[in-house]
Structure 1
């Protein structure tokens, strides 16, 4: 599997150190992040999923632990809007240049505002999608925020 994706290229250009992990992506998995965490043998809250949303009709990117659920109310507030909804997969793919199951907050074709769930940043290192199904990137939380030009905000539903 080739490792050069727009996501890895963006991190390389930013001169950030990252580690790649591959796993056998299985199409049709309902919870891709949980599947990736299991395949990599790490706790699900350390593997983050990238979700494309629309806040007041404008695109945005929410990055949350794979075992958590988005709170649309918190997402809207995080991006300064009144309402939020999930983006249709075809629209997310066209906007980001990535296929669903492989969307990364780094190197998107058309950059959208990005927010990371603040509680996910408590780990020494986090794991996110590398821009291709079955390819994950591990890096420092602060560097992930910097590379994605993201803010840390509360985004998940109370569990």
Structure 2
């Protein structure tokens, strides 16, 4: 059990866990999840940790089929600039390893922004806290559990 799954259980929200055999040579963890689970890459979301104005960390959740728009992320967070956090910083803050960072059950609760495209799906998939493990849940439940907000922060890959 991961902190992400434990949080969803404790909150008593409907969710499904999907597991697949992670390939250590995979280029993109999110794309690998979509491919191995036979999912629409627009419905599988990656969790990215950014640094706002060189200080505060925040979480951006976007479809694996696209990329995080750093300008849009900064704007959504009320910051001037957003840059990707260093791997060590992201892992330390979240308590997860890269490729398995879940927006749920992170060590430190960070400002969380979910790309608005999530609204078009009844459920979306995000990492459940380790490589090869995805959790499927309603976007509204993800926002409730992370105290997150919706904003157009993604761009096509």
- Structure 2 CA distance for partners of 1:40 and 1:74, relative to 1, 3 Å: same
Q: 1:50 Cα shift?
A: 0.3
Query: Residues 118-133 of structure 1: matches in 2 within 5 Å?
Result: 118-133=116-131
Note if 1:26 corresponds to 2:38: no
C-alpha distance in 2 between matches for 1:26 and 1:137: 18
Note if 1:60 corresponds to 2:58: yes
- Following TM superposition, the consecutive aligned residue runs of length 4 or more in structure 1 with deviations greater than 4 angstroms are none
C-alpha distance in 2 between matches for 1:99 and 1:59: 16
Worse overlay, 71-80 or 24-33: 24-33
TM-score (norm 1): 0.94
**What corresponds to 1:43 in structure 2?**
40
Query: Residues 1-159 of structure 1: matches in 2 within 5 Å?
Result: 4-56=1-53, 57-157=55-155
SS at match of 2:145: helix
SS at match of 1:157: strand
Which structure 1 residue ranges, 5 or more long, are not aligned? none
Over aligned residues, Cα RMSD in angstroms?
A: 1.1
Which structure 2 residue ranges, 5 or more long, are not aligned? none
